[in-house]
């Protein structure tokens, strides 16, 4: 049996990278795959993200809108031959979302209010719901062991609120798995815990490394410190250095393997053997065959990140984490069972929503109504005609020239034509997207009129300003193919300010052709335009050269630096600075980033 943990840094992006969810899972080739940081809201869950043939999935999404749309979330995928009446260990017998017992789980009936999990009675219900609001844990019971798929919170040293949240999260998590251990259950914890336990697990520990309270807590739960858990990878490879699973996203740290080991697999509990002579054996010694890092999933590979101009680096495709696997041996089948109710196959709307017959009839009714009004809808808006406009077109030119304003018939014709087109577009848009429909209904409920989408074509309703502009063809006899209403629609956007230009426009409309004077004027205009383009190109090149000259050179390699902007809140937020463009690496490596830093002269514009 094989278990894999992988921080995918966006499930949708990894599915796109591999072509499908099934191909992603098959590339990992494991019986149980645990993803962290899937970055999907519950309402965004679709079959292509969580359903794959031959797999059962269990998902916990971020429920806290304040933390942002793409944030946290975990998912556990179990490879099974059958989801019903199965004896496979990979198929869980029960599943639970969160660590507090207050969210959905397999043992809670629909009419029953979830109760606080054993050992967590000292916490308030509000605090526990806050712990589970970010989608950081899925618990699956596989009979032989209980599996925790965990994504640990990250907290900056000066962010007291997040530090307290992280402390409470791990405290609650520890109490929860301790309750299982007291019952004699075996516990396996996998995931991105955002903690590097020892100096060997970090590229550059620093003097304050050992003082971190979360690092001390992590080591306290390990067997070496009297705790119940084995750090499976470090127990299998106690002296392996530079065994990292995470690298910084923006500074190319993977090139020099400048990272940390924060993705872990922990195991606790007795082995599965029943003989008296091996009662003292533990799950790790008897059943864990191997544990290692799948480095082939790293984004960076030799030769695939050439430096561009000005020190820029090519964007790497993939997660900033590498998967970690554990293979188990001597794992027997379990009693017959079926997939728990928490499975994604039972999530409402996961396969979309069935369209009602009423919605199809509503579309048909709208089309029939428009046809009875004389509107014929063609493939292009330009081919749309309206028979009721014929009476307006038969008016004499004298009547049209008396007033600059059209008659009531003509305005009504144009207005009705625009209204029908707008109504059709709104109806079809509402049928395609429910979100848009919801926003329109909200505006109607509050008494606000929903704005119609502006249509830029020949059937758009004319503005009042357009009727005060001069008609480009004041004589209908010059264009015998056009009627009065068409002449009104073909008005110019500006008035003629020169007599010679007016004469030229008239001759052109009458089909006389261009004269030699017109040709000279046209060539002069083209020459002027070319000159302007040349001047603009030279100015742009000057600006580019100025920008390149203003970029400082790093002192270590004498290469152009790259510009960055401070995004962290504080007095320097939004300020630009320059750093060495090379990949982050050990200070002893001359090919790595030299550590050059310089503030830019001015503060960048805040967006």
Q: Which residues are annotated as a binding site for Mg(2+)?
A: 7, 37, 192, 194, 320-321
Q: How far is CA 88 from CA 83, 95, 339, in A?
A: 9, 15, 11
Q: Which long-range contacts (CB under 8 A, 24 or more apart) does 448-451 make?
A: none
Q: How far is it, in rounded angstroms, from Cα 15 to Cα 22? A: 8
Radius of gyration of the chain (CA): 35
Give the tokens for residue 551. Answer: 């970029």
Q: How far is it, in rounded angstroms, from Cα 147 to Cα 282? A: 16
Beta-bridge partners for 337:
86
Stretch (H or E) spanning 357: helix 357-372
- The Cβ of residue 567 has, within 10 Å, a number of other Cβ atoms equal to 8
Cα first-last separation, the chain: 51
Catalytic residue IDs = 151, 192, 321
Closest CA to 346 of 584, 30, 69, 104: 104
Q: Which DSSP string corresponds to 500-542?
A: HHHHHHHHHHHT----HHHHHHHHHHHHHHHHHHHHHHHHHHH
Half-sphere exposure of 175 (CA within 13 A, CB side): 17
Give the tokens for residue 605. Answer: 């514009």
Binding residues: 7, 37, 192, 194, 320-321
Q: How far is it, in rounded angstroms, from Cα 488 to Cα 467? A: 8
Q: How far is it, in rounded angstroms, from Cα 142 to Cα 157? A: 37
**SS3 assignment, position 265:** strand
Burial class (CB in 10 A: 0-12, 13-18, 19+), 318: middle
Phi, psi of 421 (to 5 degrees): -65, -40
Degrees to nearest 5, angle at CA 61 with 190 and 129: 90
Q: How far is it, in rounded angstroms, from Cα 8 to Cα 6? A: 6
């Amino acid at each position: 049996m094989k278990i894999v943990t992988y921080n995918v840094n966006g499930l949708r992006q990894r599915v796109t990278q591999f072509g499908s969810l099934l191909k992603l899972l098959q590339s990992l080739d494991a019986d149980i795959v645990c993803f962290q940081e899937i970055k999907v809201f519950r309402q965004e869950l679709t079959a292509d993200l969580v359903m794959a043939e031959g797999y059962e999935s269990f998902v916990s999404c971020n429920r806290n809108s304040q933390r942002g749309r793409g944030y946290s979330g975990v998912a556990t995928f179990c490879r099974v031959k059958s989801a019903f009446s199965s004896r496979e260990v990979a198929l869980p017998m029960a599943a639970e979302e969160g660590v507090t017992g207050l969210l959905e789980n397999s043992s809670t009936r629909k009419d029953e209010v979830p109760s606080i999990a054993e050992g967590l009675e000292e916490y308030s219900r509000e605090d526990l719901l806050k712990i589970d609001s970010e989608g950081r844990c899925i618990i699956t019971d596989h009979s032989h062991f209980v599996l925790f798929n965990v994504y640990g919170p990250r907290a900056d040293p000066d962010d007291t609120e997040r530090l307290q949240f992280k402390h409470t999260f791990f405290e609650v998590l520890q109490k929860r798995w301790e309750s299982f251990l007291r019952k004699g259950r075996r516990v396996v914890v996998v995931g991105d815990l955002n903690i590097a336990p020892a100096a060997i697990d970090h590229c550059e520990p620093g003097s304050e490394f050992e003082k971190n309270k979360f690092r001390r807590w992590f080591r306290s739960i390990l067997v070496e410190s009297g705790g119940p858990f084995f750090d499976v990878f470090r127990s299998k490879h106690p002296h392996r250095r530079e065994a990292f699973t995470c690298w910084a996203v923006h500074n190319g740290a993977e090139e020099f393997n400048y990272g940390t080991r924060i993705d872990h697999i922990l195991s606790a509990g007795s082995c599965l053997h029943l003989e008296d002579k091996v009662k003292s054996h533990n799950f790790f010694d008897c059943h864990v065959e191997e544990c290692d890092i799948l480095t082939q999933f790293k984004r960076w590979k030799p030769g695939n990140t050439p430096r561009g101009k000005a020190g820029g680096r090519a964007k790497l495709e993939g997660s900033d984490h590498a998967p970690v696997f554990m293979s188990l041996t001597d794992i027997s089948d379990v009693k017959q069972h079926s997939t728990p109710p928490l499975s994604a196959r039972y999530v409402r709307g996961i396969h979309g929503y069935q369209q009602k017959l009423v919605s199809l009839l509503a579309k048909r009714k709208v089309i029939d109504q428009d046809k009875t009004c004389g509107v014929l809808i063609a493939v292009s808006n330009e081919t749309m005609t309206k028979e009721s406009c014929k009476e307006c077109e038969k008016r004499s030119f004298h009547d049209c020239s008396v007033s600059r304003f059209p008659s009531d018939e003509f305005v009504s014709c144009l207005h009705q034509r625009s209204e029908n087109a707008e109504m059709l577009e709104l109806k079809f848009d509402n049928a395609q997207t429910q979100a848009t429909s919801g926003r329109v209904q909200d505006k109607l409920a509050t008494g606000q009129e929903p704005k119609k989408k502006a249509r830029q074509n020949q059937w758009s309703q004319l503005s009042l300003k357009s009727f005060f502009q001069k008609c480009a063809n004041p004589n209908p006899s010059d264009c015998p193919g056009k009627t009065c209403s068409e002449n009104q629609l073909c008005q110019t956007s500006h008035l003629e300010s020169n007599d010679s230009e007016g004469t030229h426009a008239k001759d052109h409309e009458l089909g006389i052709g261009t004269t030699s004077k017109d040709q000279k004027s046209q060539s002069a205009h083209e020459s002027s335009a070319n000159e302007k383009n040349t001047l603009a190109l030279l100015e742009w090149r000057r600006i580019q050269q100025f920008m390149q000259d203003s970029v400082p050179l790093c002192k270590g390699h004498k290469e152009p630096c790259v510009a960055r902007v401070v995004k962290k809140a504080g007095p320097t937020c939004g300020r630009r600075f320059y750093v060495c463009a090379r990949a982050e690496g050990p200070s002893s490596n001359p090919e790595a980033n030299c550590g050059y830093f310089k503030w830019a002269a001015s503060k960048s514009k805040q967006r």
